[in-house]
Structure 1
């Protein structure tokens, strides 16, 4: 088994880890081992873009039908002036 030392860990992070370990009935070392193991072994699933993530998140709410009027004038280039 390998040993690992973590330097410069913020005191507030250490305290949160201690409290989390106590809540779960484990030692702080066992809690950190569990966190690191879960993080290192989680599957790298396909990542979606922002639009895909939002679509998946709100798909259950249904869609919206928009009445988009027909364009009456041809598109034109932007005039930035000089």
Structure 2
């Protein structure tokens, strides 16, 4: 395996690299190897979309069950499409028939 030395690395870059490596439970050297490998092969180790990213960020907090409120009348006043509604049922009182 080849070795490289990186000179004149900014202190801020080194600090961020150290923090990133610690967050991934890796050494700085291993983190740099992974970053370089992914950069030259085009692979990504992070999430591909916002939903996956959010799921990963908040997974340790557990899930949340939200109560879905009952549906109310439509503000448009159009016909109700529920199977239990008859052909003349309207969502809002006073709607004008078709």
Structure 1: gaps spanning 5 or more residues: 44-82
Structure 2: gaps spanning 5 or more residues: 44-98
Q: 1 or 2, which has the higher helix percentage?
A: 1
SS, match of residue 21 in structure 2 = helix
Q: Which runs of 4+ in 1 moved over 3 A?
A: none
TM-score by length of 2: 0.43
Q: Deviations over 1:14-73 (max 9, x none)?
A: 000000000000000000000000001117xxxxxxxxxxxxxxxxxxxxxxxxxxxxxx
Match of 2:91 in 1: none
TM-score by length of 1: 0.51
Q: Which structure: larger Rg?
A: 2
